[in-house]
A = this chain, B = another copy of it.
Amino acid sequence: TELELQLAAAYVSDAQYNRNVCFEKTPQGIRLYNLYNHWGMLLVTYFFIILDLALAVFEDPALIPLPLWATFLAELICLAVFTGRLVHFAKVIPWQKFWKDTKNICVVLIILLTLVDMLIYGSMKAFGYYGVRWSRVLRPLFLVNITEGRQVRRAFRSIRNTLPEILYVFLLFIFSILIFSLMALKLFGKRKLVTNEGTPYFTSYLDIVFELYVLVTTANSPDVMMPAYNSSFFFALFFILYILINTYIFMYVFLAVVYNNYRKHLKEEMKNLVRAKRHKMVEAFRILQVKHGGEPVVCQSHWNQLVRLVQPDISNSHRELLWSVCDEDKKGFIGKVAFLQLADLLNIQIITLKSHIHPLQTWFPHLYNSHPSRLVCQMVQHKAFVYVYDFIIVVNAVFIGLDEENPLISNAEWAFLVLYMLEILLKLYTYDPRSFFSRHKFWNWFDTIIIIAALVATTVNFALKSSDGYTSRQVLDIVFILRVLRLIRIVDSVKRFRTIINTLIKIGPTIITFGQLIIVVYYIFAVVGMEIFKDKIKFFAPDSTASAQNYCGNPLLKDTAFAQNNYCRNNFNDIVSSFVLLLELTVVNQWHACALLTSGFTTVTHTAARIFFVLFHIVVVIIIMNILVAFILEAFFVEY
């Protein structure tokens, strides 16, 4: 029946996209569920999640200030959309199931808390009080708890399960730092050594603990050991031992524990996933099965209807291909085992390599088949053609490196553009344009877009120059970027490079999951950081003449290394600056200037602000970055 087919299609679709939702098995239940999974709905949801997150750009402390009512209105719309989505989901699945699922409760709670916070903050503002928009910390959780955030949720679940194991190593690590600090206090505290800045060296226990923690990240090496090393050679041994144990052994043990556990938990999750998928497919089979010679089978006509329902845009030839894979013996029906493959088969991308006839051949057969025309085609298909263009790219690279003020050089650019255009045209003449621009021909697309963009930009630049006598710096920037990007094409000529790039492209989805993970963490730290540090450190444009720019607008920073190094722009004054700063802190994972950065922020607030930075380091470097290593190693082992 129609309902049964619909139900089976829903099951197959769930299996195909690894969904595991227990929807209601009524006609309108299935219809609602299909609507719920429609890509348009997903797009809308993700749009509003991004909008909700992006609100931080416009809220105080804002990069682009907007009035409070505008951001409040936008946020209310977002919340309404999320509520609508949640109500939709509640209609799809049974009521009890809805309230048993943590992620639904989470979303409800976040929405309620956000409303409460908006109410409090709005009334505080209205009466002129100081308020904190604390619920912004919860925003990234929408990204995790929405039904489609499965990958991210899985990653977070794996992290949570890994935490107990990490905790013990972490405690041992902290113990080791405390013991070394105590030893450092006893060894150096009474020696009256001074640091390079002239302050007493290693006299306060808590400062030593912090300095040695930073040393684990190698940020303050070798500065932290120089006073001791200068006083006696043997003290270097203390630091060498410290670094060996805490930087190398412990950091790699962290990696090993995170990697080991993460892999274990992920394998467990994958097993469950496969089990759920199989279960769904078995359900679909049970619905469609008919008896044939005592054995349950699915006949071709049902199967065809099912596939058309699951994937309406599938071509007939593609569907027939899938059937022939399942029904190898051409019996007209398939058994359970063959049926269970369907979800995986539908996930396989099939590239149709039809050798189209070149349109020129259809339009001007005589001309296209003539001798000179064939010669051109042979030339383009020849290996030497690739080598010649590789050589041109290398020459081009040299020209780009030379000074473009020279008229010879700047005119040569036109020659190169013509050469590149010629290459594309020749290729289009030789190969069928439809296959040249087919979906998986990444480099052809890349080439064409870059060259055409370069042509446009260079022309605009030339027009501006000849009319005004000078060009806009922005246009010139774009011209330069496009010129350099053209050179990347040479990578495609070396086979081993292609392999590596393809592997990198294949691990892309993993990286996207990881990207969501890191955005969640960054957003939370950025929002907290903005509340604590906003406007404590001010940035003045380079052409500013204010004397305050020498100390980032905060007298406390006068004559500090932070201000002297011109770090004023590294601040928490808006969400974008915060993200850049957090990235700097991550990158300098073994934070070099973090010590310096941190010192800037502790100077303007309180030494306890170190806790914020240490916490960030623990979360991001010890846990998140090790997870990234685990992600990339695993993905690489599978793909390479």
Q: Quick one: which of B205, B222, B584 contacts A222, CB cutoff 8 A? A: B584
CB distance from A182 to the nearest CB of B (A): 5
Q: Quick one: which of B233, B236, B256 contacts A632, CB cutoff 8 A? A: B256
A569 at the interface (CB under 8 A from B): yes
Q: Quick one: which of B179, B231, B481, B583 contacts A488, CB cutoff 8 A? A: B179
A437 at the interface (CB under 8 A from B): no
Find residues 174-200 in chain A having any chain B CB closer than 8 Å to their own CB.
175, 179, 182-183, 185-187, 191, 196
Find residues 376-410 in chain A having any chain B CB closer than 8 Å to their own CB.
397, 400-401
Q: Is B229 within 8 A of A580, CB to CB?
A: yes
A314 at the interface (CB under 8 A from B): no
Contacts of A230 in B (CB 8 A): 539, 542, 566, 569
A18 at the interface (CB under 8 A from B): no
A252 at the interface (CB under 8 A from B): yes
Contacts of A636 in B (CB 8 A): 253, 256-257, 260
Contacts of A168 in B (CB 8 A): 494, 496-497, 500
Interface string of A561-573 (1 = CB under 8 A from B): 0001111011000
Residue among A168, A218, A567 with the highest chain B CB neighbour number at 10 A? A218
CB distance from A542 to the nearest CB of B (A): 5
Q: Quick one: which of B172, B179, B496, B593 contacts A221, CB cutoff 8 A? A: B593
In angstroms, Cα B404 to Cα A187, docked, is 12
Q: How many copies does the complex hold?
A: 2
Contacts of A169 in B (CB 8 A): 500
Q: Quick one: which of B221, B566, B587 contacts A592, CB cutoff 8 A? A: B221
Q: Is B175 within 8 A of A565, CB to CB?
A: no
Category for how many chain A residues contact B: 35 or more
CB distance from A214 to the nearest CB of B (A): 11
A628 at the interface (CB under 8 A from B): yes
Q: Is A565 within 8 A of B226, CB to CB?
A: yes
Contacts of A487 in B (CB 8 A): 179, 182
In angstroms, Cα B585 to Cα A243, docked, is 12
Find residues 4-34 in chain A having any chain B CB closer than 8 Å to their own CB.
none
A337 at the interface (CB under 8 A from B): no
Interface string of A461-498 (1 = CB under 8 A from B): 00000000000010001001101100110110010110
Q: Is A588 within 8 A of B252, CB to CB?
A: no
Q: Is B593 within 8 A of A637, CB to CB?
A: no
Chain B minimum-CB-distance residue to A483: B186
Contacts of A504 in B (CB 8 A): 249, 253
Chain B minimum-CB-distance residue to A543: B231
A484 and B186 in contact (CB under 8 A), knowing A172-B500, A230-B542? yes
A589 and B590 in contact (CB under 8 A), knowing A182-B397, A255-B629? yes
A422 at the interface (CB under 8 A from B): no
Q: Is B628 within 8 A of A222, CB to CB?
A: no
In angstroms, Cα B497 to Cα A172, docked, is 7
A550 at the interface (CB under 8 A from B): no
A401 and B179 in contact (CB under 8 A), knowing A497-B172, A504-B249? no
Q: Is A567 within 8 A of B222, CB to CB?
A: yes
Find residues 250-287 in chain A having any chain B CB closer than 8 Å to their own CB.
252-253, 255-257, 259-260
Q: Is B218 within 8 A of A590, CB to CB?
A: yes
Find residues 132-180 in chain A having any chain B CB closer than 8 Å to their own CB.
168-169, 171-172, 175, 179
Contacts of A401 in B (CB 8 A): 182, 185, 205
Q: Quick one: which of B247, B570, B637 contacts A587, CB cutoff 8 A? A: B247
Interface string of A596-640 (1 = CB under 8 A from B): 010000000000000000000000000000001100110011001
Chain B minimum-CB-distance residue to A237: B580
Contacts of A255 in B (CB 8 A): 629, 632-633
- 8 A-B pairs with least C-beta separation: A186-B480, A256-B636, A592-B592, A168-B496, A252-B632, A183-B484, A222-B584, A218-B588
Enumerate 13 A-B pairs (CB-CB under 8 Å) in ascending A order: A168-B496, A175-B490, A175-B497, A187-B477, A196-B564, A221-B588, A221-B592, A222-B570, A226-B567, A230-B566, A233-B576, A243-B583, A247-B587
- In the complex, besides A218-B592, A229-B569, 14 extra interface pairs with C-beta distance below 8 angstroms are A175-B490, A182-B401, A187-B477, A196-B564, A196-B566, A219-B592, A221-B587, A223-B593, A226-B565, A233-B576, A240-B583, A243-B583, A256-B636, A259-B633
